[in-house]
Amino acid sequence: MLFLSTFIVVFAGLSSAKPFSGKRWDNPSLKHRWVEVPRGWEFHSTPAEDHLLEMRIGLKQNKLDELISSLYEVSDPDHERYGQHLSKAEVDALVAPHPDSVEAVEAWLQHHGINPDDAHFRSAGGEWISIHVSVAQAERMLDTKYGVYHHPASGSSVVRTMEYSLPAELHSHIDVITPTTYFGTFHSMRSTSFIETKPASLVDDAASFAAEISPLAVPASCGSTVTPACLRAMYNTTNYVPKATATNKLGVAGYLDEFANDAGEFRTDAVGGTFQHVQVNGGGNSQSQPGVEANLDIQYTEGISFPTPNIYYSTGGSPPFIKDTFTPTNTNEPYLDWLNFVLNQTVIPQTFTTSYGDDEQTVPQDYAVSVCNLFAQLGARGASIMFSSGDEGVGGGDCLTNDGTNRKIFQPAFPASCPFVTAVGGTTRVNPEVAVSFTGGGFSRYFSQPSYQTSSVTPFLTNLGTKFSGLFNASGRAYPDVSAAASGFQVVISGRTSSVGGTSASSPTVAGIVSLLNDFRISQGKAPLGFLNPLIYSTAKSGFNDIVSGSNPGCGQTGFTATTGWDPVTGLGTPDFLRLQQLV
């Protein structure tokens, strides 16, 4: 999910290019290897040698530590730099690679007949390079063999490899290369929403959606039949009118064939209004075949944040390719095109929500870390980023490890496990809310526990004792951070109402509330909230309704249990806008 701008390398005359001293590049060293084909995928065939791949090279960022330090400082309400978010130019300067890294990578490319001077474009910071290479050339560069792999459950096919290597010298200069060993696509990943079978609870008309509900008496029906009016009452936003609509914006990230209907407003004051469509890399906008996920997201971000401008990013995923019988057309990886686009904008929305994820162990760690660091860039620039925590509890399926040992352990979700995003879990019912059984939560095995959450997480771990010992990484980044309603959402899709559930509903709900908080701050002449976690785990902690019942079973286990204080089921709880407004 990253990459700023890309550049295309012209390959005319590659066969006549003269390589440099070959010995410098003749010592391949393993970068990443799978011991087995990732579960759910199967080898299909050998790709054509001339099939084009869009190879993306992520160079090590020379001042990444300084970027992360700046992110925490501008996000810490007790720090003198709080709210002093970085500009695009300042972030670009911090993520730029060291000149030695640039020299080494360019020399390696030249060795393989690729002239860097032919590049059409690089990322603004120079930390990402994108080139078009044939499968045959990629195999020579990475000392590997590519295959076409198929994912029967989703119908996805990708060109990937089980392992790849780089010359030993380049390991200190390159973080990750794609596409290589990350098999995920948005078709194969789990969208964190699903259609529920609740015909009796469906709201039949727009007027019912629009009817306001008193926060003092939220009806029990809102626990099973959720409308924007329910959420506005439950989380105390009903009477807030946005003022900074010329500045404040809310972005919804959508992918592949997920587009949103323009029609479907549930607020009488929003009739005739619409949202902005931004199509990235061939993303669609077919008003005749909208997506469930897309309509869920935009109908509820708008339902809460109106008249704040909403932007729906429809991101495609089909790079240039050579058509042949056995090679798929889609070799792009999740998030990369979207982040490439957004990070290259001078002005970005102050709030984002995304509702996709996968088991962390299915994402190569070098890829996950590189992607997570790109979210740090967005946060440093003043964006609040919400991700749904997943719908598999502590893990779905057999929960066996993919390292060859076949151990059963809890399976954390990525990108929810990234410490630079705000992960959103799910609840159900009202008066009181309880954890919904499918809400994802747990502890990362890739990312260590950030200091901002230690004081909140430690009491939970202390009380848990030795229960589930060995099934999770107690020193890992803990999630979710917060929660919101996740079941019974009434969504209009092609003119018909469906009941939708999942933490895909929770994330846009929280994003809508955060967008209102950003509106409030901006209207007071203050900076937007930016990266939320250091704030919500400290001075804003009391702005959440603690959820103290429910659990998130999975992996054949009962899962964690919601309790007083933070827990890996509902995090810090659900937001109360009026309390948070006083705290931010």
Give me the catalytic one of 134, 193, 355, 504: 504
Question: Each residue of 284-302: b (16+ CB within 10 Å) or e?
Answer: beeeeebbbbbbbbbbbbb
| Per-residue b or e along 429-459, where b marks 16 or more CB atoms closer than 10 Å to that residue's CB | bbeebbbbbbbbbbbbbbbebbebbeebbee
- The span from the CA of 299 to the CA of 535, in Å, is 28
| Catalytic annotation present for 324 | no
Q: What angle do CA 505, 506, 511 make, to 5 degrees?
A: 105
d(CA 238, CA 229): 8
| 567 is known to lie in a ligand binding site | yes
Burial class (CB in 10 A: 0-12, 13-18, 19+), 170: buried
- What is the distance between the alpha carbons of residues 260 and 264, in angstroms, rounded to a whole number? 10
CA–CA gap between residue 156 and residue 153 (Å, rounded): 8
Instruction: Please give the Cα distance from 197 to 499 (Å, whole number).
Output: 7
Torsion angle, alpha carbons of 107, 111, 113, 114, to 10: -20
| HSE of 288, CA atoms in CB hemisphere, 13 A | 0
Q: Is 465 annotated as a binding residue?
A: no
118: annotated active-site residue: no
CA 269 from centre of chain: 31
Q: How crowded is residue 79: how many other Cβ atoms within 10 Å of its Cβ?
A: 13
Catalytically annotated residue among 297, 358, 392, 519: 297
Contact by Cβ (8 Å): 391, 192: yes
DSSP line for 345-357: -SS--SEEEE-EE
Contacts with 11 (C-beta within 8 Å, 6 or more apart), sequence order: 113, 114, 132, 133
Q: DSSP letter for 37, please.
A: P
454: DSSP letter: H
Asked if 193 is an active-site residue, the reply is no
Of 293, 358, 360, 481, the active-site residue reads: 293
Cβ neighbours for 247, distance < 8 A, ≥ 6 positions apart: 522
Residue ranges for the known binding site for Ca(2+) are 546-547, 565, 567
Residues with catalytic function: 293, 297, 504
